[in-house]
Structure 1
């Protein structure tokens, strides 16, 4: 097992994420029904199905091409705020990874940091606002720490997943300060954020596909 990530690995990651979104579509929609529009799961499932098809048709040769196609398809196929936010994340990841075909763990962490910064800028949100950032930020920090300390790839990814799931769970007690959920005020407390939940699935897909 190597500690780099190939194009085949990245392709498997996208497909694994699409599979996890499909498997969890109803529960994601249920979470969104409690504090949002009630369509997050269906929207993300539609977008990821379209993305897998688009990637199959285009046959991207580099990380930039793969994540650009993924991001553009998500932006155009996913409704509500999720399309622009997840799409921006993927586009920024692609730009940061560039034209490489073999990605180191440190480069992957750099790409995810760029994606995080893109989401923060696009959504005008910060960790603690009860958004996807609450899962993404700790996952990126954990991966950066692992990469800096020479941790093996599979262990690093599991550490990132644990951090993402912890951040996801922490949203239950949070008061929403961004998005549709913020309109509920105190009634948003006690509900798990669907965007953070989907972000944790993205990290779970990385563990499944890249370890």
Structure 2
């Protein structure tokens, strides 16, 4: 199985569904250490993405992901729009055509670099990076060991979810949460949590029986 145009659109629509379902949880997490708008911002952004994809006749998976990123940048406020938007645009640039696990691993790494270039965050800063970094490492390691796309995606999802959980004891060093200093300790980072949703959606839509997100 390669990551192709159909899977790209399915993935994005699966993310939209996950964000819709988890919007309240993301908002609650963000209310504890941020502006309280992470869930609503992402829900609005991915609703706009779905509208942007309706009727699109993309030339390849990269076109789907690039449109996703561009829409998020234009429609989502706060930090999450630019960060996720740049990540998806980087993914799109790296995936002009169908890609196997090794190529997709490098595209995910390009997405991570885009997030870090913009946000200047490192692992341990209590951000999106704390989920995206282990996800990329797990996906790449699985691909190098000969895993297929569903297996690598499953490994990445598990790693992202653990990475999000691992932000709880961290003190935030980037973003609005950093203003809280030690009071940010004990709360799960909302950005890392939404990143885990993103990778879980990828695992679901690439699973052999996965139909989530495909319209």
Shorter-chain TM-score: what band? Answer: over 0.9
2:212 corresponds to: none
1:81 corresponds to: 79
Pair 1:169-2:165 in alignment: yes
Aligned-CA RMSD value: 0.9
Pair 1:70-2:71 in alignment: no
In structure 2, distance between residues paired with 1:156 and 1:57? 30
1:208 corresponds to: 204
Deviation at 1:55, TM superposition (A): 1.2
Name structure 1 gaps, 5 residues minimum: none
Q: Is the partner of 1:183 in helix, strand or coil? A: helix
Deviation at 1:6, TM superposition (A): 2.1
Size of the alignment, in residue pairs?
Answer: 207
Q: Is the partner of 2:99 in helix, strand or coil? A: strand
In structure 2, distance between residues paired with 1:17 and 1:49? 10
Of stretches 5-14 and 69-78 in structure 1, the one that deviates more from structure 2 is: 5-14
Residues 72 and 87 in structure 1, CA contact (< 8 A), matched pair in contact too: yes
In structure 1, distance between residues paired with 2:21 and 2:145? 34
TM-score of the superposed pair, with normalisation by structure 2: 0.94
Pair 1:181-2:177 in alignment: yes
Q: Is the partner of 1:57 in helix, strand or coil? A: coil
Pair 1:194-2:200 in alignment: no
Residues 130 and 164 in structure 2, CA contact (< 8 A), matched pair in contact too: yes
2:7 corresponds to: 9
Deviation at 1:134, TM superposition (A): 0.3
In structure 1, distance between residues paired with 2:159 and 2:86? 22
In structure 1, distance between residues paired with 2:150 and 2:55? 30
Deviation at 1:197, TM superposition (A): 0.3
* TM superposition outliers: structure 1 runs of 4+ over 4 Å: none
Q: Is the partner of 1:16 in helix, strand or coil? A: helix
In structure 2, distance between residues paired with 1:83 and 1:6? 24
Deviation at 1:60, TM superposition (A): 1.6
1:152 corresponds to: 148
Deviation at 1:67, TM superposition (A): 1.1
Write 1 or 2 for the structure with the bigger share of helix. 1
- Among 10, 31, 34, the alignment partner of 1:33 is 31
Deviation at 1:56, TM superposition (A): 1.3
Pair 1:143-2:139 in alignment: yes
Pair 1:113-2:109 in alignment: yes
TM-score of the superposed pair, with normalisation by structure 1: 0.96
